């Protein structure tokens, strides 16, 4: 089944404890992206990648890192999480220039206390 | 900057028709997408318009006017399961060639 697999679904952590949210797609998509979704603010792009070893900042990159060592994987790293990073996170992928839209992962609800 | 506007909330009746509007002002344009998102779940793709006009897909239709910076999503024969948020998104070249900028979403409430 074509999908984007994102883990974990739920995570509660403490301020400053490094964490990684994994994202993997099996559709051979070139483009992958991370979004966070907050009430009243909608989906905002954190980082994106247009292909292997090519990543760039989105609208809200502060406090996050990503890597794209393989085409299928695009992990999101929070080196030192803070409470303002409490949010619902989505990974998404799409083929280049297509009209099929993004395929989203199931989401990760992160709480930083 | 990029600006995508849609109503925050709408209410409609089961079996009726509802139109959700989206206006956009973006520095680039290479397509407009509509997504449906149920609470706490991932958005799912509904429709794509890149040329002016109407695209129909079953009970859902989407319209685009590039000169007006305007789109709408039309939902017919509303069902209770259509209660969800509807997100308008523009492929505007920000965030790479395939980057999407999303509106804040319209929360649609269906009443019996």
Rg value, chain A, Cα: 13
Q: Among positive and negative, which fits the CA dihedral B34, A5, A16, A48? A: negative
Kindly report, residue by residue over A19-77, the tens digit of the pLDDT.
999 999 999 999 999 999 999 899 999 999 999 999 999 999 999 999 999 999 999 99
- Residues A8-24 as b/e (b if ≥16 CB within 10 A, e otherwise) read eeebebeeeeebebebb
Phi, psi for A83 (deg, rounded to 5) = -55, -30
Which residue of B35, B41, B96 is in closest CB contact with A31?
B96
Mutate to test the interface with A, among B46, B95, B103 (most CBs of A within 10 A): B95
User: Other C-beta atoms within 10 Å of A100: how many?
Assistant: 12
Does the pLDDT at position A13 exceed 90?
yes
Which residue of A48, A97, A105 is in closest CB contact with B95?
A48
Q: Among positive and negative, which fits the CA dihedral B72, B77, B83, B84? A: negative
Which residue of A43, A44, A101 is in closest CB contact with B48?
A101
Chain A residues lying within 8 Å of B48, measured CB to CB: 99-101
Kindly report, residue by residue over B3-22, the tens digit of the pLDDT.
999 999 999 999 999 999 99
User: Which residues does B91 contact at the CB level (< 8 Å), separation at least 6?
Assistant: B29, B30, B31, B32, B33, B98, B99, B100
Contact B33 A101 (CB under 8 A): yes
**pLDDT tier, B58 (very low <50, low <70, confident <90, very high otherwise):** very high
Query: B43, B48, B45: which is closest to B33 by C-alpha?
Result: B48
Kindly report, residue by residue over B24-39, the tens digit of the pLDDT.
999 889 999 999 999 9
Chain A residues lying within 8 Å of B35, measured CB to CB: 101
Chain A residues lying within 8 Å of B62, measured CB to CB: none
- Give the pLDDT confidence score for residue A1 in this predicted structure: 87
- Give the pLDDT confidence score for residue A34 in this predicted structure: 98
**pLDDT tier, B1 (very low <50, low <70, confident <90, very high otherwise):** low
B interface with A, Cβ–Cβ below 8 Å: 31, 33, 35, 40-45, 48, 50, 87, 89, 94-105
């Amino acid at each position: 089944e074509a999908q984007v697999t994102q883990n974990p679904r739920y995570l509660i952590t403490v301020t400053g404890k490094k964490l990684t949210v994994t994202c993997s797609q099996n559709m051979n998509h070139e483009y992958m992206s991370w979004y966070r979704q907050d009430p009243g603010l909608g989906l905002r792009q954190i980082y994106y990648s247009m292909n292997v070893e090519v990543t760039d900042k989105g609208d809200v990159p502060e406090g996050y890192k990503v890597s794209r060592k393989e085409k299928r994987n695009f992990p999101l790293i929070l080196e030192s999480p803070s409470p303002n990073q409490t949010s619902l996170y989505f990974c998404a992928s799409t083929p280049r220039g297509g009209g099929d839209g993004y395929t989203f992962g199931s989401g990760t609800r992160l709480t930083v206390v | 900057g990029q600006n995508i506007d849609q109503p925050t909330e709408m209410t409609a009746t089961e079996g009726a028709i509802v139109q959700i509007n989206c206006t956009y002002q973006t520095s680039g344009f290479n397509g407009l997408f509509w997504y449906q998102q149920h609470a706490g779940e991932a958005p799912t793709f509904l429709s794509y318009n890149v040329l002016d006009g109407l695209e129909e897909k079953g009970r859902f239709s989407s319209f685009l006017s590039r000169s007006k910076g305007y789109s709408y999503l039309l939902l017919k024969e509303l069902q209770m399961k259509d209660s969800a948020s509807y997100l308008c998104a523009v492929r505007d070249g920000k965030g790479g060639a395939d980057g999407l900028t999303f509106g804040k979403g319209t929360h649609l409430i269906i009443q019996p």
